[in-house]
Amino acid sequence: MAKKKAMSRRSFLDNLLILSGAGVVGAAGYPVAKFILPPEQSEPDNLSTTAINVGELAKGEYRIFEFNRKPAIVVRTGADANAPESYHALSAVCTHLQCTVQYRQEIGHIYCACHNGHFNLQGKVLSGPPPKPLPTYKVDIRNEKVIVSVESA
């Protein structure tokens, strides 16, 4: 069995000084590196997207689609598939705990199954724990496509 050599006081202090110096260099270098390196740029939000094709949904059906990297929901409630008024588009992210919502035709509104949140088709909270309404989007029909866009301020 090999004997371990005891560390001298001098080598301990040398190691402590090297580690302290590395800590100072790291503490001073981090802010400098953050200043020099450019920040990560996020992708800009789209102002509109094609949700579905006209006629793809029957009255009372819905579809979840991606809008600005988040789920959104489009619901067809009207009889005329070519009328923008026949569709409602909202964020599909519940304002309570960010669960994905769904449309329930039998109750006629949007429902979050996570904690029993209910919203009308204008996004207003009807019951449950959600603190805020769902954001709504504008719906247009162009070239046989249902276009969902952000409401202009």
- pLDDT, tens only, 20-50: 999 999 899 888 888 888 888 777 778 999 9
152 falls in which pLDDT band (50, 70, 90)? low
Q: Which residues pair with 114 in a beta bridge?
A: none
Please state whether 23 falls in left (phi above 0), alpha (psi between -120 and 50) or beta: alpha
Tell me, yes or no, if the pTM score tops 0.75: no
**What are 59-115's pLDDT values in tens digits?**
999 999 999 889 999 999 999 999 999 999 999 999 999 999 999 999 999 999 999
Give the domains, in start order, of the chain with CATH numbers.
Answer: 48-149 (2.102.10.10)
What does the pLDDT average to over 142-150? 94
Helix (H, G, I), strand (E, B) or coil at 22: helix
> What is the SS3 string spanning 28-60?
HHHHHHHHHCCCCCCCCCCCEEEEEECCCCCCC
pLDDT at 153: 46
